[in-house]
Amino acid sequence: MKKEQLSIHLRIQYLCKAALALSIGVFGLLVASGNIIDYDSNWQFVRRVLAMDALEPWFNGAALEGRAVRDPFGQQLAYFAIIAGEMICGLLCAAGGVGMLRAAAGRDGLAWGKSLFTLGALVAVLVWYFGFAVVGGEYFAMWASKWNGQMKAYAFVGFILLSLVYIRQREEA
């Protein structure tokens, strides 16, 4: 694709898609780096959800408490997996955004950028939907915990999936 052949309409679409991809990439990288820099804040959240030791008094979770992970090594491993997923999501989405910026500049990179963003969005869904809503929310009964992060996870996933739908659409000249 030659630079002079790219219409202004396509450039705008590529730039919008790149901005969304880059913003989600930066989000993933900021969350991961925040978890590394201020390790203890979110570590307490993960540890308490996995240990199932902060369930609300009205919840009789005795039947489910056998699922609890109280081993510090297992908890650290889970937290490391979350941080790694956030970092991978951020890197892939940001790289996808760079590919779409290249397309806006008239260079190759659109298909590559969309593919990288799609992989990054998949990782995001695995972290925040599968990890927080399914595993944390249901398996570890986070919904009945004082440490409930499900609504934030749903908000993240909703925005990421909406962006994925838009970014994967064909551009119109």
Q: Supply the pLDDT for residue 6.
A: 83
pLDDT of residue 113: 97
Per-residue model confidence (pLDDT) at position 5: 75
Q: Give pLDDT, residue 1.
A: 47
- Per-residue pLDDT reduced to its tens digit, 111-124: 999 999 999 999 99
Whole-number pLDDT of residue 4: 54
Low-confidence ranges of the chain (pLDDT < 50): 1-3
Read out DSSP for 39-96? HHHHHHHHHHHHHT--B-TT---TTTGGG----HHHHHHHHHHHHHHHHHHHHHHHHH
pTM, to two decimals: 0.92
